[in-house]
Amino acid sequence: MKENETGMENFGCDLEPKPIIKKLEEALKRDSVVHLEGYVGSSVEGTLRLYRTLNLESYVEVPKKEVIACVEIPNDNFGRVKVFIPASTMVKSLTQSHALIDIPQPIPCTYSMPPDICGMVRDALDKNLYPELREFLQDFYDKNCGVS
């Protein structure tokens, strides 16, 4: 290890806590901390709405004043975030009946299912490995891998 000008070892990186860690450590002195993940949506002033998925069917609402920290999920092109809040925070969870729905007909596109996935599903169907999922697997296979 090299020594820096103060005679201390130089570890090659900053060994001080990042601001988010300081915030979380401070919050942990008062309460447990939990995190929620989702996509930020429109909400009333002072409230944070996080949709759980991109179909916008269900979401949670949290008072913004309770948010300790928020970080973006890396490599998520749609802006998924992780929000840290005290465990004692009152969170409202809702499911909407007017959410975006799946289109019953497959949409033509250039993407095709990897053959190994289709082979595994076909194998599960042929061997009746998951009888309780047979209808789902057959539907998946028919829509994505070709007619059986």
CB distance 43 to 59 below 8 Å: no
Q: Are strands 92-95 and 81-86 parallel, antiparallel or unpaired?
A: unpaired
pLDDT, mean over the chain: 80
Instruction: Give residue for tokens 């959410």.
Output: 99
Q: How far apart are the C-alpha atoms of 119 and 122, rounded to whole Å?
A: 5
Task: Detail the DSSP E strand segments found in 2-63.
Answer: 2-3, 9-10, 33-41, 47-51, 58-63
- Which region among 29-38, 43-52, 105-114 has the lowest average model confidence (pLDDT)? 105-114
Q: Is the pLDDT of residue 112 over 70?
A: no
Q: How far apart are the C-alpha atoms of 12 and 102, rounded to whole Å?
A: 51
Over residues 54-107, the pLDDT tens digits come to 888 889 999 999 999 999 998 888 999 999 999 888 888 888 765 555 555 554
Q: What percent of the chain is modeled with pLDDT above 90?
A: 24
Domain ranges of the chain: 15-95, 103-148
C-alpha of 147 from chain center? 33
CB distance 82 to 38 below 8 Å: no
Q: Is the pLDDT of residue 148 over 50?
A: no
